[in-house]
């Protein structure tokens, strides 16, 4: 196991930017990937509100390491709500964009819901991915995934894909799936048992463990970090696999409160977890592991960005631009419901504040 010399880290040289924004438009749940030395691609769900029938998948490109960004370009737009956006890159340079579709807008948008036929629901509802072999200029057809939310799938060093999710809200389990053919086919390899809890914000029962990120610590050795709901205890939980994801330890509490997680290894070997802190003060935070993900330095959590109000926000994803220089993207929205979409996510929002959309923070890590 890789053991690093423990060090205390401080954040400096914070620069805030905006990747994508538009009046009356919401951008949410971003993914990010580095294509080459200067080129970065961010994916997001462009929409009107947190829950609405107008979500579509877009990508935004930077050719100067995140200093400026092109306009969003549509990749996928179905008759359902296309939500979340994850980007990953395989060892041969193939990009994979993934998302899922939803009909949760039914109860708020009756006219739009009536236009969705049973055939559309059967054909379109689910989790999807598509590939690009030219740096995100063109994308192949959408392929169905068995499950997975937000940061899924993950690419392993042997080029296999892995994702964890529930294929049905009726199940009290999260399944682990793997693919050895770039997502053309999948096999179930493991199952995490987990209970259901009532989540007031979502107005429904949800699984105890939910959005997650599978991360390769070394070839064959993996970890996964799970979001839990504040209706449970709200902490991030973590499990480990020593056989490339075929079996897993029981998830345990990391002591990190917030959700959802994204893991990345820095060039010096340190592992960084970025996450959103959705209670006062609402903020984007990072925490570090110096022992290959076995423990986390929760006494030295750093805040990258903070709000005075309680917007719809979070879902950070990060890349390392150069040694100890990090770019993190996340979202913020204050799109009012206008009486048409009275979803619980629109509560406690202060109007006319900025910035909104996909926000970026570039910062430097320093020892002290």
Q: Choose among 289, 287, 200, 174: nearest CA to 235.
A: 287
More confident residue, 168 or 238: 238
- On the question of pLDDT at 53 being above 80, the answer is yes
Asked if residue 126 belongs to a domain, the reply is yes
What CATH number is associated with residue 71?
2.120.10.10
Asked if residue 3 belongs to a domain, the reply is no
pLDDT of residue 336: 59
What is the CA 246 to chain-centroid distance, rounded? 23
Q: How confident is the model at residue 331 (pLDDT cuts 50, 70, 90)?
A: very high
In this structure, the chain runs to a length of 368
* Segment holding 45, helix H or strand E: strand 40-47
pLDDT of residue 338: 46
CA atoms within 13 A on the CB side of 18: 12
pLDDT of residue 190: 97
Q: Choose among 12, 65, 4: nearest CA to 367.
A: 12
Asked if residue 1 belongs to a domain, the reply is no
Asked if residue 283 belongs to a domain, the reply is yes
Give the residue-averaged pLDDT of 332-338. Answer: 70
Q: Choose among 78, 81, 97, 90: nearest CA to 32.
A: 97
- On the question of pLDDT at 122 being above 80, the answer is yes
- On the question of pLDDT at 5 being above 70, the answer is no
pLDDT of residue 310: 87
More confident residue, 167 or 256: 256
Asked if residue 85 belongs to a domain, the reply is yes
In tens, the pLDDT along 169-216 reads 667 789 999 999 999 999 999 999 888 888 777 677 788 898 999 999
Give the residue-averaged pLDDT of 311-315. Answer: 93
Domain housing 245: 9-367
Place of tokens 């737009």: 77
- Count the neighbouring beta carbons within 10 Å of the beta carbon of residue 169: 11
Asked if residue 293 belongs to a domain, the reply is yes
Give the residue-averaged pLDDT of 355-364. Answer: 95
Asked if residue 167 belongs to a domain, the reply is yes
Q: Choose among 322, 362, 335: nearest CA to 69.
A: 362
Asked if residue 2 belongs to a domain, the reply is no
Q: Choose among 298, 293, 254, 261: nearest CA to 277.
A: 261
The domain total for the chain is 1
Q: How confident is the model at residue 134 (pLDDT cuts 50, 70, 90)?
A: very high
More confident residue, 299 or 2: 299
- Beta-bridge partners for 176: 164, 190
* Segment holding 360, helix H or strand E: strand 357-367
Q: Choose among 177, 174, 168: nearest CA to 192.
A: 174
pLDDT of residue 148: 82
User: Edge-to-edge, what's the strand order for the sheet holding 143-145?
Assistant: 81-89, 95-102, 127-132, 143-145
* Segment holding 124, helix H or strand E: helix 118-124
Give the residue-averaged pLDDT of 353-364. Answer: 88
């Amino acid at each position: 196991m890789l053991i690093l010399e423990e060090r205390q880290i401080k954040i400096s040289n914070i620069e805030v930017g905006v990747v994508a924004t538009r009046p009356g438009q919401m951008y949410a749940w971003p993914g990010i990937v580095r294509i080459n030395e200067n080129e970065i691609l961010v994916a997001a769900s462009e929409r009107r509100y947190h829950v609405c029938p107008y979500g579509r998948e877009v990508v935004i490109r930077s050719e100067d390491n995140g200093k400026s960004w092109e306009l969003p370009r549509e990749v996928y737009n179905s008759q359902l709500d296309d939500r979340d956006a994850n980007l990953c890159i395989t060892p041969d340079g193939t990009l994979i964009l993934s998302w899922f579709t939803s009909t949760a807008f039914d109860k708020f948008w009756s006219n739009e819901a009536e236009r969705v036929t049973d055939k559309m629901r059967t054909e379109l509802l689910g989790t999807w991915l598509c590939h690009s072999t030219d740096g995100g200029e063109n994308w192949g057809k959408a392929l169905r995934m068995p499950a997975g939310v937000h940061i899924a799938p993950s690419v392993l060093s042997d080029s296999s894909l892995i994702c964890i999710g529930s294929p049905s809200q009726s199940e009290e389990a999260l399944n682990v799936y793997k693919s050895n053919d770039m997502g053309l086919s999948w096999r179930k390899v493991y199952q995490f048992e987990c209970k259901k809890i009532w989540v007031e914000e979502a107005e429904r029962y949800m699984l105890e463990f939910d959005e997650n990120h599978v991360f390769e610590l070394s070839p064959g050795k993996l970890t996964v970090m799970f979001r839990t709901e504040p209706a449970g205890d709200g902490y991030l939980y973590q499990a480990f696999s020593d056989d490339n994801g075929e079996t897993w330890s029981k998830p345990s509490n990391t002591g990190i409160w917030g959700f959802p997680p994204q893991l990345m290894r820095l060039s010096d070997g340190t592992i960084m977890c970025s996450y959103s802190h959705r209670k006062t003060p609402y903020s984007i935070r990072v925490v570090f592991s110096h022992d290959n993900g076995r423990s986390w330095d929760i006494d030295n959590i750093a805040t990258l960005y903070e709000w005075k109000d309680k917007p719809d926000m979070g879902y950070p994803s990060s890349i390392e631009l150069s040694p100890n220089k990090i770019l993190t993207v996340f979202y913020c929205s204050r799109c009012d419901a206008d009486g048409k979409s009275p979803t619980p996510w629109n509560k406690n929002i202060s109007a006319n504040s900025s910035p909104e959309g996909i926000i970026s923070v570039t910062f430097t890590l320093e020892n002290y």
